[in-house]
Structure formats: structure tokens, C-alpha cells
Amino acid sequence: MSSIITYREAVRQALREAMEHDERVFLMGEDVGHYGGSYAVSMGLLEHFGPQRIIDTPLSESAFTGAGIGAALGGMRPIVEIMTVNFSLLALDQIMNNAATLLHMSGGQFNVPLVIRMATGGGKQLAAQHSHSLEGWYAHIPGLKVLTPATIQDAHNMIGLALADPDPVLIFESAMIYNSKGALDTQALPLPIGKARIQRAGKDLTILTYGSSLFKVLLAAKTLIAEGIDAEVIDLRSLRPLDNESIMKSVSKTHRVMIVDEGWKSGSISAEIMARINEQAFFELDAPMARLCTTEIPLPYPKHLEDAALPQPDKIVAMAKKLMEKS
């Protein structure tokens, strides 16, 4: 059965279904209970499940993330909500040195089935402190899985996939698309973790992206097709693991590659993808690869400056047209 709901509602529905299905699942984080979540994702869940399963935590990311790790080791299935991605840096020791390493350090004895959700990205005028896109950083860390749901379907399905995984999974929800609407088919089989999705088939160039940038790329693709350029748009969905097979297959089809990444360019996930294509499909390329990233500055507060710093459809179109001119 299919219904039209918002991204926010899709996540909330998935949380509700998971908690109803498995009594081990609980949600913890700052303002997730009485306030309903900083982006209203958990609105109403406290009333339904009570304070033992919807837990308002103190303002200490390191402490409550560590508590989530301990609960996971104890047999529970915790979902830790970190309000915004920049706050996750306060829990980085717990995430990187504990959650990601305990399976290895225990000689395979202790899995950490922990799910961590957080809002990511710019565009809401939250200035330099709350507009980061650090999902590419976390994709650098072995032992973690890093998911970037862009669609309503993935916003819903990735909660269940993450909870079913025996290892820690980080879900980065783009703050700009909580209000977006789309179809949720509750009968559709979820696409597995680590599998990219072709959102638009094309033959002239491949554009790889994820998160809220997907919709900017799809808008740009409409402009490009009107100008005779047929772009294939791929939603990566997962940054760790990356779907090498789908990426290389598309490169072999179009022979031109562009990556749109809201992270900063230096040391970014776009750099990793370009390196992999260079290693695995170099001779399929008819032109040098291109990438569009956020300008390497702390993101400004004024709307016009914030927009100028972020990837936008017109910039995507301009870069794609320039790439098509190269041979």
C-alpha cells in the first residue's frame, strides 16, 4: 500500500513500527521525548511508548552515546539521536574508539548493534556551527556503516535495515528535506545497505550524489535534457560501504563522471569516489572527472551567501555542460 507522507513522518513511522515489533528497541537523545525532537521526528512517541523507551537525555553526547553502546552490548537495540552532526564530534571518541572497534578488539566476540541518527547539511541558515556535512568523515572509519537516505522510501526503510545490522550504523538525515513529501510503499522490499539506486537513467554522463543534493541534481538533469544532454543520476544511498559495482557500471556506460557532494572538497567522499574510479575504470573515461562541493569556508548565515556556498542546480548544469565539452 502506498501513501504520500513527509520525510519526517516516514522516519517517525519507521521508529514506531520498530518499537512495536521489538521491545528491545528504544530511542534516546536530547529533546526526543517531551519536545518531540528538534526536527519533530519523534513527536507523539513519548505518549505512546512512555519514558522507559523514549528517553530524554542530559546535554552530553559522549555520555548518552556511550550509554547506547553499553545498552547494545547488553542485548538492547538502541537508537541514539544526535541533534545535529556537529554535536556528534562531542561523541567521536565513543563512536570511533568504542562502537567501531569493539568487535575487532574483542576478537569477534562482541557486536555493537547501535543505530545513531543525526541531522546533517546546510541550507537552513544555521550558520557555521550547525550546517556541517560530515558524513564523508565518518565513511573513513572501518567498523561503521554510513547511510544517507534522500527519498521517503529510504527514510523509512533504512531504520529497519540499520536495526537488523549487527554492527553500528550511522544514519545522516538531511535537515533540508524533513518537510519534503513523497510516496511510501510499505509493501516494497527495501534496497539493501550498500546498494546505490539509479534515480534517472541516461547515456551522456553519470552524476553521483546523495542526500538533499539528489533533488538539486534531478532538477539540473531536467534542464540538461532540454539542452540535449542526457544525464544518468545515481543516488549513492550508502557512503560506507560504497556500491563500487553500480558506479563502475554507469561509468562504463556514459564515460563521463561528475560528483555532487555537499561536503568540503579536501579529503571528501567525492575524492574517494574519484580515486576508486581512477583505479577501477580509468580507461572507460572520455574526459577528466569533475566534482561540485561546498565552498571551503565556514558556512555563512546570510541566505544569499549560504546559497552561494552550497551546490545548486545552476552550478550543476554549468559544470555538466563544461564536462561535455571535454574529450
Q: State the Cα–Cα distance between residues 250 and 257, nearest whole angstrom.
A: 9
Strand 115-120, strand 54-56: pairing:
unpaired
Closest CA to 200 of 179, 221, 182, 175: 221
Active-site residue identified among 9, 30, 81, 130: 130
Contact between 178 and 7 (Cβ < 8 Å): yes
**Residue 132 catalytic?**
no
> What residues are paired with 231 via a beta bridge?
205
The torsion region of residue 60 among left (phi > 0), alpha (psi -120 to 50) and beta comes to: beta
Neighbour-count burial for 227-263, b at 16+ CB within 10 Å, e otherwise: eebebbbbbbbbbbebbbebbbbbbeebbbbbbbbbb
What residues contact residue 112 under an 8 Å CB cut-off, 6+ apart?
A: 69, 72, 73, 98, 99, 102, 103, 167, 168
Residue 81: active-site member: no
C-alpha span between 219 and 99 (Å, rounded): 38
Q: Looking at 231-275, which runs of residues are DSSP E strands?
A: 231-235, 238-240, 257-264
Catalytic residue from among 61, 173, 232, 306:
61
Q: d(Cα 101, Cα 112) in Å, to the nearest integer? A: 9
**What's the N-to-C CA distance of the chain in angstroms?**
47
Tell me the catalytic residues: 61, 130
